[in-house]
């Protein structure tokens, strides 16, 4: 009897991101679903009969036509993207505007004042991320963002020409004001931008800081300069999309608005791990701090490491960042602690000592004061 009641759900997702599929699979296991998964559809599926469909609506006319036929047959469908808002469907999607806003805040906290966007294509999701990144903030209400979209400027026969691409984007990067904060549409685009920077002889992150979106460790951690990335919570998107589809299959009316899943934060790596500054003295000081976070350092040590006096060091930090050297040391220690806590292989004690705290209790109290969570609870929330 249980098998006769088993729901048959079709998964039409492309590309087949494993975290999103894992979220769907987790819900399916909990509720006894039968799944059929199709990727890279070349033609409209025929003869399928089942209970519901999870889909990523992209620029594939076969899928668009298939989904429209499902709607006419009143088969429940939930879209996991925002690429075709003109087609009325219940949706669960990442909050792409919020991702752009998070990127802007990340760069502003690092004192950047020049911003650029790069993407290979331009669809609705690209637009939402760009608009979030370009939205004005109280700190920089008049700043604007350079916008570079490969598909809008490149002849079709050049789209896969890597040498041509490096010259095209490299020229734009060289001409842009420095230091420059660049947000790429995703981690793959961030890697392409990094390659163009290096080919153009530009320093990353000194001349151009690069941030991607997606949290793809395979891409981000295997670059000449490891890439920082916004963690797009694909697993939660897949799980909650499946949950919504289940409720609709039960006869519940779909929600009036798209269910938006916020990003999980930013994994900071070398490509943005720098405060923007035009002062060589401050750059040396920042490098000294970053290289000595496990040591008991303060204003005296940082000033000596940068080759200047205490008074000059204090004055420059107040001018550049509006905070003391001690506050910058703490900011960098907290950033490093979060990075280490993201890997369960590091114990709380190890994280404490590697970030310059004399004992785990002092580290825990400081971390809780700065983040509102203990290191243990912060790790669980990731």
**For 301-347, how does the pLDDT look when each residue is reduced to its tens digit (9 = 90+)?**
999 999 999 999 999 999 888 889 999 999 999 989 988 898 888 99
pLDDT digits (tens, 9 = 90+) for 228-270: 999 999 999 999 999 999 999 999 999 999 999 999 889 888 8
pTM summary value? 0.81
Specify the pLDDT at position 151.
92
pLDDT averaged over the chain?
90
pLDDT digits (tens, 9 = 90+) for 286-305: 889 989 999 999 999 999 99
In this structure, the chain runs to a length of 382
> Residue ranges per domain, the chain?
8-94+234-261, 96-232+266-272, 280-381
Inform me whether the pLDDT recorded for 107 exceeds 90.
yes
Specify the pLDDT at position 326.
95
Specify the pLDDT at position 1.
35
The architecture (CATH level 2) of 280-381 comes to Orthogonal Bundle (1.10)
pLDDT digits (tens, 9 = 90+) for 108-155: 988 899 999 999 999 999 999 999 999 866 666 556 799 999 999 988
Inform me whether the pLDDT recorded for 41 exceeds 70.
no
The reply to whether CATH 3.40.50.2300 applies to domain 96-232+266-272 is yes
* Cβ–Cβ under 8 Å, residues 300 and 325: no
Specify the pLDDT at position 167.
93
The architecture (CATH level 2) of 8-94+234-261 comes to 3-Layer(aba) Sandwich (3.40)
Domains 96-232+266-272 and 280-381 fall in the same CATH topology: no
Specify the pLDDT at position 40.
65
Inform me whether the pLDDT recorded for 6 exceeds 80.
yes
pLDDT digits (tens, 9 = 90+) for 177-213: 999 999 999 999 999 999 999 999 999 998 999 999 9
């Amino acid at each position: 009897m249980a098998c006769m009641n088993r729901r048959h759900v079709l998964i039409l997702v492309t590309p087949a991101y494993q975290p999103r599929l894992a979220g769907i699979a987790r819900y399916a296991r909990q509720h006894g679903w039968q799944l059929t998964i199709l990727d890279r559809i070349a033609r409209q599926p025929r003869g399928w009969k089942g209970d519901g469909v999870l889909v990523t609506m992209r620029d594939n006319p076969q899928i668009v036509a298939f989904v429209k036929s499902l709607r006419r047959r009143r088969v429940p469908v939930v879209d996991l993207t925002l690429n075709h808002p003109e087609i009325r469907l219940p949706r669960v999607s990442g909050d792409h505007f919020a991702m752009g806003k998070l990127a802007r805040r990340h760069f502003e906290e690092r004192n950047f004042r020049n911003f650029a966007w790069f993407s290979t294509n331009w669809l609705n999701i690209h637009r939402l991320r760009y608009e979030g990144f370009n939205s004005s903030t109280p700190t920089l209400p008049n700043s604007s963002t350079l916008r570079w979209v490969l598909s809008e400027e490149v002849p079709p026969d050049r789209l896969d020409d890597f040498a041509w691409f490096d010259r095209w984007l490299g020229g734009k990067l060289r001409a842009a004001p420095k230091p420059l904060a660049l947000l790429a549409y995703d981690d793959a685009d961030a890697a392409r931008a990094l390659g163009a920077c290096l080919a153009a002889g530009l320093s990353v992150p000194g001349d151009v800081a690069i941030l991607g979106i997606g949290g793809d460790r395979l891409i981000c951690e295997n670059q000449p300069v490891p890439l920082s990335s916004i963690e797009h919570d694909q697993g939660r998107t897949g799980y909650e999309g499946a949950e919504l589809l289940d409720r609709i299959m039960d006869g519940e009316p779909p929600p009036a608005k798209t269910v938006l899943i916020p990003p999980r934060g930013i994994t900071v790596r070398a490509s943005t791990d720098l405060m923007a500054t035009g002062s060589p003295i401050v750059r040396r000081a920042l490098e000294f701090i970053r290289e000595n976070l496990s040591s008991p350092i303060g204003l005296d040590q940082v000033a000596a490491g940068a080759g200047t006096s205490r008074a000059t060091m204090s004055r420059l930090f107040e001018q550049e960042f509006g905070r003391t050297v001690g506050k910058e040391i703490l900011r960098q220690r907290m950033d490093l602690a979060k990075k280490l806590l993201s890997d369960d292989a590091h114990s709380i004690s190890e994280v404490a000592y590697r970030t310059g705290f004399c004992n785990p209790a002092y580290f825990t109290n400081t971390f809780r004061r700065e983040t509102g969570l203990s290191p243990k609870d912060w790790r669980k929330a990731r």
